[in-house]
Structure 1
Amino acid sequence: MADDARRDAAYAAGQERILFCGSCHGKDGNSKRDYIPNLAGQHPLYLFEQFEKFGNGQREDYVMSNLAKVLTVEDRINIAVYYSQQEANPRTSPAPALVDAGRAKFQAKCAACHGQNAEGFRNMPRLAGQPAEYIKIALKRFKDMDPAVQSSPMIGIAAPLTAGDIEELAAFLTTL
């Protein structure tokens, strides 16, 4: 990322490789489907690490797991660079009345790792502007994980969240 020429070359190559990715995550990295995450504005290291996790089975998704296995390391890097340079677009909250409560919960429970504005950094994902449905799915997935089998700091964070907490966080995060 620090070498302008290499970053520009990776961006151009990534733009060519995202044709398949764009049908779900959007050509500009802003998902058109509420249950699929935005990739725009994510840190390239985070995106690359997620490809690796799908490829080695740490994360599972039918499409992503199969795709990660056929992309070269260079493809993964180029796609990560391309999407990291796209601008994430906020969405309208599906539950505007819950936004203030979600903001307070985010500041208390999430901002230390994900940033004050949910912008993420390095290996912490950007949550700002993510589709509300995706946020809810992800938090429920972490809440249901078995800490004896899986390891993620999110397991402990999500465990005490109520269904209402999850709704409030999703209502807020989608608007950033």
Structure 2
Amino acid sequence: MVYRKLTKGLGLLIVLGMLASPSIAVEDEVKGLMLIIEQQLDDPGARQQAMQAGRNRALLCSYCHGNDGNSVKPDVPNLAGQNPVYLLDQIGKFARGERKNFVMNSLAKNFTLDDKVNLAIYYADQTVQPRPQNKSLAARGQRIYTQRCMSCHGEQGHGSAEYARLAGQRPEYLHLTLERFRANERGEQQDGEDVRRSPIMESIAGRLSDENIEVVVAYLAGLE
């Protein structure tokens, strides 16, 4: 879909007004974020400035997410190669407390809009480093992924403005996230840290066995 390009100043105020509305629909929020990102990417000078500023701001994030968005901790996701609109949306969710993680909630609340946009553009431009695949497990995982996950996350797992890139994601993180969604669906007790809700993902993960999760993770972690 082609969106009307924004002029600087007035256009940004319009988008911020949209995002501040308490009654805004999810799809309208994503559309607003797309306009903000497009405004930066359509201007070569603005894009270059955003990349440099994002690289500098990412120093705060590198302890967990790595200098280039490839995570250095098993329970922390790669940010490299994610859709910039998706990243901007998730940073906003942490800032508003819609996603729960003490470190991320604290950081995101202190990021300016420019910080958030710059980080999203910087990480989206980085290259994810896929993991070696167990071909036998991956072949089985591909069948499950195609049946249950591809319609949202894409044929190659590259995601979109609304859905995460799963290709090349850390296997430990994928495994943990699917287990948490499954626990939500089954009403199992979780602590307050990193609790994340998604009716769609909970419904899908609730029907996955331990073996299903293992093979899907094996498939996704090795995708480029």
- TM-score class, shorter: over 0.9
CA distance in 2: counterparts of 1:117 and 1:174, whole angstroms? 11
Q: Distance in 2 between the 1:71 and 1:152 partners?
A: 28
Q: How big is the shift at 1:2?
A: 2.5
Name the amino acid aligned to 1:87. T
Partner of 2:199: 152
- For 2:131 and 2:74, the matched residues in 1 are separated by 10
State the match for 1:175 in structure 2.
Answer: 222
Taking only aligned residues, the RMSD between alpha carbons, in angstroms, comes to 1.9
CA 59–6 in structure 1, closer or farther in 2 if over 3 Å, else same: same
Structure scoring higher RCO (CA < 8 A, sep ≥ 6) equals 1
Q: Which residue of 2 aligns with 1:141?
A: 180
Residue 4 of structure 1, CA deviation:
2.2
On the 8 A contact 2:167/2:222 being kept in 1, the answer is yes
Q: Which amino acid aligns with 2:141?
A: G
> What SS is found at the alignment partner of 2:61?
helix
Aligned with 1:161: secondary structure?
coil
Largest Rg, 1 or 2: 2
Aligned residue for 1:5? 45
- Counterpart position of 1:58: 98
Given that residues 74 and 173 in structure 2 are in contact (C-alpha distance below 8 angstroms), is that contact kept between their aligned partners in structure 1?
Answer: yes
CA displacement at 1:147 relative to structure 2: 9.6
Q: Give the TM-score of the pair, scaled to structure 2.
A: 0.73
Deviations 1:114-139 (A, max 9, x none): 11110111121100000111001111
Shift of 1:73: 1.3
Q: 1:78 aligns with which of 101, 110, 118?
A: 118
| Cα distance in 2, alignment partners of residues 3 and 167 from structure 1 | 43
Q: CA deviation at 1:96?
A: 4.7
Unpaired runs of 5+ in structure 1?
none
Q: 1:92 aligns with which of 116, 121, 132?
A: 132
Change (3 A) 1:111 1:122: same
Q: Normalized against structure 1, the TM-score is what?
A: 0.92
CA distance in 2, matches of 1:131, 1:10: 26
**How many residues are aligned here?**
175
Determine the C-alpha separation between the residues in 1 that align with 2:99 and 2:44.
32
Q: Deviations over 1:7-57 (max 9, x none)?
A: 221111101100011111111111122221100000111111111111111
Q: Kindly tell me: are residues 162 and 76 of structure 1, through their superposed partners in 2, closer, same or farther at Cα, counting changes over 3 Å?
A: same
Counterpart check, 1:107 vs 2:146: yes
**Which residue does the alignment assign to 2:59?**
19
**SS of equivalent residue, structure 1 residue 145:** helix
Which amino acid letter does the alignment assign opposite residue 161 of structure 2?
R
Q: Which runs of 5+ in 2 are unaligned?
A: 1-40, 188-196
In 1, the alpha carbon distance for the partners of 2:137 and 2:95 equals: 37
2:108 aligned partner:
68
1:44 aligns with 2:84: yes
